[in-house]
Amino acid sequence: MTAIFTIQSAFLSLLGIFLAGAAGSLILRKNDSWANGWSSFCAVTGSLVGAIFGIATMISGNNLSFGMASPLFPLLSISFYVDTLSAFFIAVISIIALFCSLYGFGYVKHFYKKYSIGALGFFYHLFIAGMILVVSASNGLFFLIVWEIMSVASYFLVVYDRNDENNVKAGFLYLIMTHIGTAFITFAFFLLYKFTGSFDFEAIKAGSGALPVAIKNAVFVLAMIGFGTKAGIVPFHIWLPSAHPAAPSHVSGLMSGVMIKTGVYMMIRLFMDMLQPIPTWWGLTVLVIGAVSSLLGVLYALSEHDIKKLLAYHSIENIGIILLGLGSALTFSSIGMPVIATIALAASLFHTLNHATFKSLLFLSAGSVINKTHTRNMEEYGGLIKFMPLTALFFLVGSMAISALPPFNGFFSEWLTFQSLFQGIASADVIVKWFFVLGAGSLAFTGGLALACFVKVFGITFLARPRSDEVFHAKESSFSLIAGMGALAVLSLIFGVFSGYLITFLEKAATGMGFLKNATTITSAASGHGALSVGNGFASVSAPALFVFLLVALVVSVIVFRFVINRHQKVKVGMTWDCGTNLRPRMEITATGFARSIILIFKGVLKPSIQQEITYDDAKSRYLPKSHVIIMGIHDVYYSYLYQPIIKVVTVLSSWATKIQNGNINVYVLYVLIALILALISAL
């Protein structure tokens, strides 16, 4: 009893710290540095408590469940349920929030005197608290409220830099999209309420067996659209590449790293827990969505040269990879293979953790670059590795992790995802098998394209010669930024090397929900000495061994070639070969040029466009062009094929509505009368 009580008070004090942070920032808003100090202090402390709370709950396995009914609204009860899955997400949110807040302490200084730091702190704390509440709420209505707190707080953070008109536009798009999503979620909960008679998650779970098939399927579709919009799946992703870059970088890191994962959390909660058992086509649908999102996400990323937009597109790609894991878990669970389902779900959770780590790392380092160069356009970077060596190193770590290069963490979660897909290819029946082939194929190409994309980002941003004068003014960021990024970079390596030990935690998180509970007693993906293994010797990999081998091979080759064979030779510094001309920055490859060949190869999907504008010295003779502008872009297929038709339909419907609403009050009174008569007749 006391144990449960202390867990409960730990959880409440966690929320209390964030509320104190929010309130304190508002109170201290007159003084920028005080507000920043208090806000960062509370955020760091709260995140630390949250991380400890999440990890401790996962280790102990004690589920926390408490609530209080609200006397005013009979359906709303403020109830919490924290099992290992929720605890895992709380831990992920807190760990990322910890380092983002640390980074934020130094980062927001350039907003002093420009915007209100107190307001930033207020919404920042509400945002983090909102996310933690989202993954721990266990009542439908209460969930919708905290979901809304999270969404609205993040909206205000997106439009924080409000002097830039584009940010306000991006924020508006985000606000609309997130509310469309919320509408679908609300509808899903109402359907569940109508057929189970409760908003309480436990009650819904108990009553889900009695749901009619059609309603269950409808809930799936609604939830997929609603939570998919937040997670950023294609084609509901359009808000993501504009909203994430607009926010301050430490908030971008949080939004991309963890906020979109709350959508994934609810998918797991609904499909793996509350609505079990589920039909096979749900899992296959999620697989297809994952495959499409991952491939398209990385292709759009390749075509970007706004560094933060590019990273935002990679979030779509990685959500796709997470959904590949989740989709296989759902499929395996519905065709009676709980052991592999557990591993697939663990893979998906592992990738959630890993993506949170390296994506926030990448956003933070991109923020550090933008802070010094005052532009998000990669074409104006170049050579930054000499001006910001540590930022470059951390960005390199993030790039390698996201491109799934061992020994960093991204590889090991992709390895597990691949292995679960392979299991599907190897063992499932013919039709199901093809979905897994599709998933594995898209994951394979995604991996290769992501690698190409990050060669582009790193090469264009940090290598070669500076492409604009801004770069020459850049210098290394301050300590708090370096500390935040450095810690995340170290975590990326640690999560990779110790993946074999980490996996037992992830399996615990995966099996916290009822039906997978007995699965891991048979086999676990952890197989001693930090190795991972899948399917009774089907596959195994040892991260520590690989890490040590790489290190030893590197050290040995350096010693042999540098200090034994070649120890007397001189190294001379010279010019890059320039074919006899004067080598200027304009002669280096550009980000657009680098990705152009891949874009042309995938022109069926990306539909690249070229606009040319030529102005002539003499408009009549048209021989001597004065200026020549070429705009290369890609055609937005979602906009023209999905959103444009919807907008048209809405416009037509609205114009019909204006026929009824003609502004004449007498007519409105008539409407009231007709409505009243109709109501009376129907009541008879």
Residues 178-197 that bind another protein (CB under 8 A): none
Write the single-letter amino acid at 229. Answer: T
Q: Quote the least distance from Cβ 88 to another protein, whole Å.
A: 25
What is the x/- site pattern for another protein, positions 352-391, by CB under 8 A? Answer: ------------------------------xx-xx-----
The C-alpha atoms of residue 302 and residue 299 are separated, in whole angstroms, by 5
Of 319-348, binders to another protein (CB under 8 A) are none
Question: Nearer Cβ to another protein, position 109 or 433?
Answer: 433
Is residue 123 part of the contact set for another protein (CB under 8 A)? no
Q: How far is CA 263 from the centre of its chain?
A: 9
Sites for another protein among residues 459-498 (CB under 8 A): 459-460, 462-465
Token look-up 């991006």 returns 170
Measured distance CA(232)–CA(240) in Å, rounded:
6
With beta carbons less than 8 A apart as the criterion, state whether 229 and 219 touch. Answer: no
235 makes contact with another protein (CB under 8 A): no
Residue type, 428: A
Q: Is 80 in the site for another protein (CB under 8 A)?
A: no
From 236-244, 245-253, 370-378, 598-606, give the range in contact with another protein by CB under 8 A: 598-606
Shorter beta-carbon distance to another protein: residue 67 or 585: 585
From the list 145, 218, 583, 632, which residue makes contact with another protein (rule: CB under 8 A)?
Answer: 583
Q: How many residues bind another protein (CB under 8 A)?
A: 82
| By CB under 8 A, residue 431 contacts another protein | no
Q: Of 61, 209, 277, 448, which one interacts with another protein (CB under 8 A)?
A: 448
36 φ, ψ to 5°?
-65, -45
Options 437, 647, 667, 674; binder of another protein; rule CB under 8 A: 437
CB 16, min distance to another protein, A: 45
Question: Does the protein bind another protein through residue 242 (CB under 8 A)?
Answer: no
CB 282, CB 334: distance < 8 Å: yes
Per the DSSP assignment, residues forming a β-bridge with 540 are 533
Binders of another protein among residues 599 to 638 (CB under 8 A) are 600-601
Residue 338 or 383 having the CB closest to another protein? 383
DSSP 8-state class, residue 239: T
Instruction: Please return the burial class of 552, using the count of CB atoms within 10 Å of its CB with bins 0-12, 13-18 and 19+.
Output: exposed
Give 336 or 574: the residue with its C-beta nearer to another protein: 574
Shortest Å, Cβ 434 to another protein = 8
Does position 74 bind another protein by CB under 8 A?
no
Nearest approach in angstroms of CB 651 to another protein is 41
User: C-beta of 395: minimal distance to another protein in Å?
Assistant: 12
Residue 197 in 3-state DSSP? coil
Interface region with another protein, contact rule CB under 8 A, candidates 78-86, 366-374, 414-422, 628-636: 414-422
CB-nearer residue toward another protein: 559 or 675: 559
| Beta carbon nearer to another protein, 54 or 382 | 382
Tell me the closest approach of the beta carbon of residue 241 to another protein, in angstroms: 21
* Cβ closest to another protein, residue 400 vs residue 513: 400
Rounded Cα distance, 142 and 192, in Å: 15
Q: For 459-486, b where at least 16 C-beta lie within 10 A, e where not — what string?
A: bbbbbbebbeeebeebeebeebbbebbb
* Min separation Cβ 641 and another protein, Å: 25
Q: Which of 153, 190, 159 is nearest to 172 (CA)?
A: 159
Nearer Cβ to another protein, position 597 or 615? 597
Q: Between residues 179 and 596, which has the closer beta carbon with respect to another protein?
A: 596
Near another protein by CB under 8 A, which window of 119-127, 135-143, 219-227, 401-409? 401-409
Kindly tell me which of 78 and 396 has the beta carbon lying closer to another protein.
Answer: 396
Residue listed under structure tokens 């709370």: 53
- Nearest distance in Å: CB 99, another protein: 25
Subset of 654-673 contacting another protein (CB under 8 A): none
Report CA torsion sign: 404, 260, 227, 171: negative
Q: Write down the least CB distance from residue 601 to another protein, Å.
A: 5
Stretch that binds another protein, among 129-137, 138-146, 197-205, 397-405 (CB under 8 A): 397-405
CA distances from 102 to 44, 121, 450, 480 (A): 7, 13, 29, 6
Contacts of 175 (CB under 8 A, 6+ apart): 155
Per residue, what are the HEC states of 382-431?
CCHHHHCHHHHHHHHHHHHHHCCCCCCHHHHHHHHHHHHHHHHHHHCCHH
Residues 516-555 interacting with another protein (rule: CB under 8 A): 531, 533, 537-542, 545-546, 549-550, 553-554
Nearer to another protein, 574 or 663 (CB): 574
- The rounded Cα 598 to chain-centroid distance in angstroms is 24
Q: How far is the CB of 317 from another protein (least distance, A)?
A: 13
Nearer to another protein among residue 185 and residue 440 (C-beta): 440
- Token representation of residue 342: 């557990």
Q: Could you tell me if 622 and 319 are in contact, meaning their C-beta atoms sit under 8 angstroms apart? A: no
Q: What is the DSSP string of 497-543?
A: HTHHHHHHHHHHHHHTSGGGTTGGGT--SB-STTEEEETTTTEEEEH
Site for another protein in 558-577 (CB under 8 A): 558, 561-562, 565-566, 569-577
Residues 264, 323 contacting (CB under 8 angstroms): yes
Select the residue interacting with another protein from 237, 351, 456, 508 (CB under 8 A): 456
Decide whether 99 or 411 has the Cβ nearer to another protein: 411
Nearer to another protein, 481 or 531 (CB): 531
- Identify the CA nearest to 489 among candidates 371, 369, 586, 358: 358
The residues with which 137 forms a beta bridge, in sequence order, are 80
Specify whether the CB–CB gap between 317 and 301 falls below 8 A.
Answer: yes
DSSP structure class, residue 643: I
At which residue do the structure tokens 């990705």 appear?
A: 595
